[in-house]
Amino acid sequence: MRLALGSDHAGYDLKTFLARALREAGHVVVDLGTNDATHSVDYPDFGAAVGREVVSGRVDLGVALCGTGIGIAMAANKIAGVRAAVVHDVTSARLAREHNHANVLCLGGRLLGTEVALDAVTTWLASEPAGGRHLGRIEKLARLDERLDEEKGIA
């Protein structure tokens, strides 16, 4: 699988760990930065970059990290077509993929240990979007993106 990873300075160490583990598992990792933990950078830049890679189709899925996962998820979700979810464990990761069809997984580098984060990402990647009652909700999310484009005159 082809994956985009991006983080701010607070998520850098966990992103580096995950990138290495995902490559070792056979995934292609596109690292969108940042490139160190010492220089403060803005999470919206990296959340948007991951989101754009996913919706463009250049990658299959994305993983975005900041201190809590919250800010970078907000940024990624500003990109139409992104369904970014902040997760804290394997259960929230699995449900984010199955129920919400999350295409960007967001993690907090200051909140999660490496093993919990890797387990969450691995579970998310192994999960499949569920159909059934969840499809109507996903379609409603897509219509919200379309409505925003119409309001901006992009349609």
Going along the chain from its start, the domains and CATH numbers come out as: 2-130 (3.40.1400.10)
Q: Which two tokens stand for residue 72?
A: 């970078």
The one-digit pLDDT tens for each residue of the chain (155 residues) are: 999 999 999 999 999 999 999 999 999 999 999 999 999 999 999 999 999 999 999 999 999 999 999 999 999 999 999 999 999 999 999 999 999 999 999 999 999 999 999 999 999 999 999 988 899 999 999 998 887 666 666 65
Q: Which of 9, 27, 66, 106 is catalytic?
A: 66
Active site residue 99: yes
106 in catalytic set = no
Q: Which of 27, 39, 88, 99 is catalytic?
A: 99
The pTM (predicted TM-score) of the whole model is 0.94
